[in-house]
Amino acid sequence: MDSCRISIYLGLFLISLSPSVVAQASFPHTEEVGGETSIAPPTRAGDGSLNVFLKAGHVSGHIRNFTMATFNQGALTNYWANATGGAIHYETARIFEHFQLGVKGIFTFNTFSSDLSWVDPLAGKAAKWEVELFDVNHPKEKYDLDRLEELYLKFHFGKGSLIEVGKFDLDQTPLLNRRDGRMKPFVFQGAWSSIHWTENHRTQTGWITQVSPRAMTQFFTIREAVGLQSLGRQPNGTPSVYHEAATTSGIGVVGWHYQARQNWKVQVWEFYLDRLTNINWLQADIQEGPWVGGVQYVVQLPHPFQKGLEYTQRYMQPSEVGHVAAVRLGVRSTTWEVTGNYLHSFNQGRFLWPRELGRERLYTSIPRSWVEGLGNTDVVTLIGRYQRRLPHQNQLSADIRYTSVFTPERTDYSLNKYGTQSYYQINTALKYECFGKLDGLNIQLLYIYRGDYITGDLAPEVIFNKYRMHQLNLITNLNF
Which pTM was predicted? 0.87
Helical H segments across 181-293, by residue range: 222-225
- Cα distances from 41 to residues 120, 150, 234, 435, 479, in angstroms, run 48, 16, 46, 19, 15
Question: Could you tell me the pLDDT band of residue 456, with boundaries at 50, 70 and 90?
Answer: confident
Single-letter amino acid code for the residue at 345: S
- Percent of the chain, pLDDT > 70? 90
Angstrom distance (rounded) from CA 40 to CA 61: 11
Angstrom distance (rounded) from CA 389 to CA 394: 6
Chain length of the chain: 480
| Chain-centre distance for alpha carbon 379 | 20
pLDDT tens sequence across 8-56: 443 443 334 333 333 333 334 445 555 654 444 555 544 568 888 888 9
DSSP label at residue 332: E
Q: What is the mean pLDDT of residues 434-457?
A: 92
> Does the pLDDT at position 242 exceed 60?
yes
Largest CA distance in the chain: 74
- Residue of 378, 376, 465 lying closest to 413 (CA atoms): 376
Q: Is 7 exposed, middle or buried (0-12, 13-18, 19+ CB in 10 A)?
A: exposed
DSSP label at residue 22: B
Q: What is the pLDDT of residue 10?
A: 38
Rounding to the nearest 10 degrees, give the CA dihedral for residues 429, 229, 321, 301. 110
Is residue 172 within 8 Å of 186, Cβ to Cβ? Answer: no
Between 179 and 226, the more confident residue is 226
Q: Is 128 strand, coil or helix?
A: coil
Between 447 and 25, the more confident residue is 447
> Does the pLDDT at position 132 exceed 50?
yes
Residues 6+ apart with CB under 8 A from 248: 221, 222, 223, 226, 273, 274, 275, 276
Q: What is the mean pLDDT of residues 104-127?
A: 96
Q: Check residue 53 and give left, alpha or beta (phi > 0: left; psi -120 to 50: alpha).
A: alpha
Angstrom distance (rounded) from CA 145 to CA 129: 17
Is residue 345 within 8 Å of 353, Cβ to Cβ? Answer: no
Helix (H) or strand (E) holding 191: strand 187-198
Is residue 129 within 8 Å of 68, Cβ to Cβ? Answer: yes
> Does the pLDDT at position 306 exceed 70?
yes
DSSP label at residue 416: B
Angstrom distance (rounded) from CA 118 to CA 470: 19
- Cα distances from 353 to residues 22, 344, 358, 363, in angstroms, run 39, 16, 8, 16
- Residue of 187, 65, 186, 183 lying closest to 131 (CA atoms): 183
Number of Cα atoms under 13 Å in the Cβ half of residue 106: 27
pLDDT tens sequence across 246-302: 999 999 999 999 998 789 999 999 999 999 999 999 999 999 999 999 999 999 999
For 18, list phi and psi in degrees, rounded to 5: -75, 120
Q: What share of the chain is helix, strand, coil (3-state, %, to 5)?
A: 10, 45, 45
Is residue 175 within 8 Å of 360, Cβ to Cβ? Answer: yes
For 415, list phi and psi in degrees, rounded to 5: -130, 10
Is residue 60 within 8 Å of 16, Cβ to Cβ? Answer: no
pLDDT tens sequence across 384-432: 999 998 887 799 999 999 999 999 999 999 999 999 999 999 999 999 9
Q: Is 238 exposed, middle or buried (0-12, 13-18, 19+ CB in 10 A)?
A: exposed
| Chain-centre distance for alpha carbon 2 | 28
